[in-house]
Amino acid sequence: MPWRVIALGDQVWHVDALAERPANTDAWQLVLSFRAAAGGQGVGVGVGVEAGAGAGKRAFWTPYPLEATSKSSLFIQAERIPDAALSQLLSQRLA
């Protein structure tokens, strides 16, 4: 089940939030996964989603400028991201 569902134009996108901690840092950073709902990709998100056949711009990962010292704190902050901000990020990425 996606974390958020965003509609942009006539396309529906599934958004998932992930936490990533780069080497030699104490802060967790937010990474978002965007997948176009059409095409039957299924519910799960995997590392190889973007490399799938015909994926193109239908699935991608992008960092979001949010970090925290714990994963739980990061996800609490992520819940406050408005859908409008996700839509804007998506439209910029697709442009």
Cβ contacts of 2-8, under 8 Å, gap ≥ 24: 2/35, 2/43, 4/83, 4/86, 5/37, 6/34, 6/83, 6/86, 6/87, 6/90, 8/87, 8/90, 8/91, 8/94
Pair 32, 51: CB distance under 8 Å:
no
Residue 32 is predicted with a pLDDT of 97
* 38-55 pLDDT per residue, tens: 754 434 334 334 434 344
Residue 65 is predicted with a pLDDT of 96
Q: What percent of the chain has pLDDT over 90?
A: 68
Spell 8-47 as b/e; 16+ CB within 10 A means b.
eeeeebbbbbbbeeeeeeeebbbebbbbbeeeebeeebee
Residue 28 is predicted with a pLDDT of 97
Rounded Cα–Cα distance for residues 95 and 62 (Å): 14
Per-residue pLDDT, averaged over 21-50, amounts to 73
Per-residue pLDDT, averaged over 7-30, amounts to 94
Residue 57 is predicted with a pLDDT of 63
